[in-house]
Chain A
Amino acid sequence: MSPVLFELLLRSIWETVLMTAASGLISLVFGLPLGLALIATERGGIAENIWVNRALGAVINGFRSVPFIILLVALIPVTRLIVGTSIGTWAAIVPLSIAATPYYARIAEVSLREVDHGLIEAARAMGGNRWTIIREVLVPEALPGIVAGFTVTLVTLIGASAMAGAIGAGGLGDLAIRYGYQRFETSVMVAVVIVLIILVCGIQWVGDRLVARLDRRG
């Protein structure tokens, strides 16, 4: 591999890591509260409100059913509004975050739902309010699942970021298509695949270690 290509590979790794990390963080910040809102408003939840629950569910399903490549293009006006441009790595973070947030909200919802209802009842019996229940019961008890779900989301984001090349965001996927596939640079293709495998394994390893440390359910 030539030094030029190698430098290109390094830049692509950075772009992929940036896109994944930034949109992952944003999906965590918005997705977890969304997941909590879904759990709280469902029937028998701590802030039962069926209509809010259905509306939230419909919006989440709507975003989740649009293929990412279409979302990427459809969200161009929104992206331009937020980051001022519709091309480049930062521009890709907007559609990636918007796609990952409802995805992560559903994963968080599943973990939160698994918290034993008896624990919520115990917190209520102690005189706890909704905020207490969220802070002391729901989130800490679901934390292993919340972290494991975040790991899954990050890995999914690495895959999705490959498509972000379509709006000039760069990244490893884009490099593999333009050099490895279209210009028959097999060494680039192999290098990209190896880097991706290392990235995914690394994220999964860190996630698993964290979950093992957090899980006290024995």
Chain B
Amino acid sequence: MIGAWLSGAGGPLLSGLLSHFRAVETGSEMNQHVTAELADPVNIAAGQDDVVRLVDLKRRFGATPALDGVLLTVKKGEILGIIGRSGAGKSTLIRCLNGLERPDSGDVFIEGREIGRLGERELQPLRRRIGMIFQHFNLLSAKTVEDNVALPLKIEGRPKAERLARAAELLDLVGLSEKAKAYPSSLSGGQKQRVGIARALAARPALLLSDEATSALDPETTRSILALLKDINRQLGLTILLITHEMEVIRSIADRVAVIDAGRIVEQGPVWSVFAEPHSEITRSLLGGIRPQLPAEIAGRLLPGAGAELILRIDVAGEAARGPLLSDLAVAVPGPFRLVHGGIDHVQQQPVGTLFVAVAGNDARHLAEVIAFLKAREARVEVLGHVAGSV
């Protein structure tokens, strides 16, 4: 998009500037948002902190690969969100973690132990260390709420008194004590998922897997369930791995996010960093719903060639987004500009901003100065195109 109009309207000065910004997009296959503690997952020696470590996990169904060499670690106490479109392989991935699905090759380490090649009988005690919650709750309709919650303990062979005491404790934790004797059919969706969470926690797991746990719930219930999961994560220090197709879920509770596409992790890092600077096309598209986008009626009028105004997209995050960026711009580079759309969002207490700004479309030098100023302030700038009239 950028190259097309450059040849017509810009000059060598501009193209030099812009090619710098474009270089960011053509990264390696795996886009790693490096943080202080996060190194290459392959080279981490079986870290004590890793509750989950996946190494080159592969699984195909017929000719289609569902998992195509997944590398991933989940640290103790963190919430890792895996996001992808349906069919990206996230369900297969989460099912490999408790042996409901077997990988064709690669290793699945849970608390340092490889489980990918264990038999069903050896997996059974291990699965008790891993709680799981489901999109459709999967509560047993023939059992009362407390019997549902106590079922993992019954499977473990605990005495009845202990099971019921633990169930009461957990129902209190999820705020459903008064429903202990009710049957699941009398509960609302959110209440059912609370029971699902209580049941998943019954056997004191080291890891909680969440398989689209809020996808069948309305937005308000989703928020309360996510808040509950975050509470549990903080109070119990429980490690949580969740899969979802909704960025909103990732943004509300995840510490780190991994983006899966066609069976590969294409991008991962701290949530705010991925939100601020998504490298892969799929991440950008998944972010589309919750990050500011150029309004469609303006996007539809963008021209590659000359026009009265030029639309810029400015992405700024972290420290850079805390300063008076736009007023400084007005002082440093005199000349009119208008804010068309956008805003500053806060993800993991970090400001993440996306602004769409219109500047005069016929002054290449002015544009270069604007871009140079913004770049100096650690903002990323993308020239989207011209618009003929005023927008």
- Cα(A218)–Cα(B141), bound, Å: 9
Q: Which residue of B lies closest to A214 (CB)?
A: B142
Give per-residue flags for A82-118: 1 if the beta carbon is below 8 A from chain B beta carbons, else 0. 0000000000000000000000000000000000101
Chain A CB within 8 A of B180 CB: no
Give per-residue flags for B206-218: 1 if the beta carbon is below 8 A from chain A beta carbons, else 0. 0001000000000
B138–A216 contact, CB under 8 A? no
Q: How far does the Cβ of A145 sit from chain B's closest Cβ, in whole Å?
A: 12
Binds B, one of A9-17, A18-26, A129-137, A159-167: A129-137
A127-B151 in contact given A141-B142, A143-B142, A216-B185 (Cβ < 8 Å): no
Chain B CB within 8 A of A128 CB: yes
Q: Which of A185-218 contact B (CB under 8 A)?
A: 214, 216-218
B121–A129 contact, CB under 8 A? yes
Residues of A within 8 A of B151 (CB): 123, 126, 136
A141–B100 contact, CB under 8 A? no
Residues of B within 8 A of A45 (CB): none
Residues of B within 8 A of A137 (CB): 140
B128–A127 contact, CB under 8 A? yes
Chain A interface: which size bin? 20 to 34
Residues of A within 8 A of B138 (CB): 116, 118-119, 121-122
Chain A CB within 8 A of B130 CB: yes
A128-B140 in contact given A118-B134, A122-B134, A216-B183 (Cβ < 8 Å): no
Chain B CB within 8 A of A1 CB: no
Chain B CB within 8 A of A125 CB: yes
B124–A141 contact, CB under 8 A? no
Q: Which residue of B lies closest to A128 (CB)?
A: B155
- Cα(A169)–Cα(B123), bound, Å: 55
- Cα(A136)–Cα(B128), bound, Å: 16
| Number of CB contacts from chain A to chain B under 8 A | 72
- Cα(A49)–Cα(B265), bound, Å: 36
Chain B interface: which size bin? 20 to 34
Q: Which of B82-136 contact A (CB under 8 A)?
A: 98, 100, 120-121, 123-128, 130, 132, 134, 136
- Cα(A116)–Cα(B141), bound, Å: 10
Interface of B with A (CB < 8 Å)? 98, 100, 120-121, 123-128, 130, 132, 134, 136, 138, 140-143, 151-152, 154-156, 183-186, 199, 203, 209
Contact pick for A216, options B123, B141, B154, B199, CB 8 Å: B141
Q: How far does the Cβ of A65 sit from chain B's closest Cβ, in whole Å?
A: 34
- Cα(A129)–Cα(B141), bound, Å: 20
Chain B CB within 8 A of A140 CB: yes
Sample 11 A-B pairs with CB under 8 A, ordered by A number.
Answer: A116-B136, A118-B138, A121-B134, A125-B127, A127-B128, A128-B155, A129-B124, A140-B140, A216-B185, A218-B141, A218-B186
Q: How far does the Cβ of A69 sit from chain B's closest Cβ, in whole Å?
A: 40
- Cα(A125)–Cα(B208), bound, Å: 11
Nearest first, the 8 closest Cβ-Cβ pairs linking A and B are A218-B185, A122-B138, A140-B142, A127-B127, A127-B128, A125-B132, A118-B138, A216-B183
Q: How far does the Cβ of B178 sit from chain A's closest Cβ, in whole Å?
A: 18
Q: How far does the Cβ of A216 sit from chain B's closest Cβ, in whole Å?
A: 4
Residue of A126, A132, A143 most packed against chain B (CB within 10 A): A126
A119–B130 contact, CB under 8 A? no
A126–B140 contact, CB under 8 A? no
B183–A218 contact, CB under 8 A? yes
Q: How far does the Cβ of A170 sit from chain B's closest Cβ, in whole Å?
A: 40
Q: How far does the Cβ of B203 sit from chain A's closest Cβ, in whole Å?
A: 7
Residue of B123, B142, B152 most packed against chain A (CB within 10 A): B142
A119-B186 in contact given A125-B132, A128-B124, A136-B154 (Cβ < 8 Å): no
Residues of A within 8 A of B156 (CB): 127
- Cα(A140)–Cα(B125), bound, Å: 24
A127–B140 contact, CB under 8 A? no
Residues of A within 8 A of B121 (CB): 129
Residues of B within 8 A of A132 (CB): 155
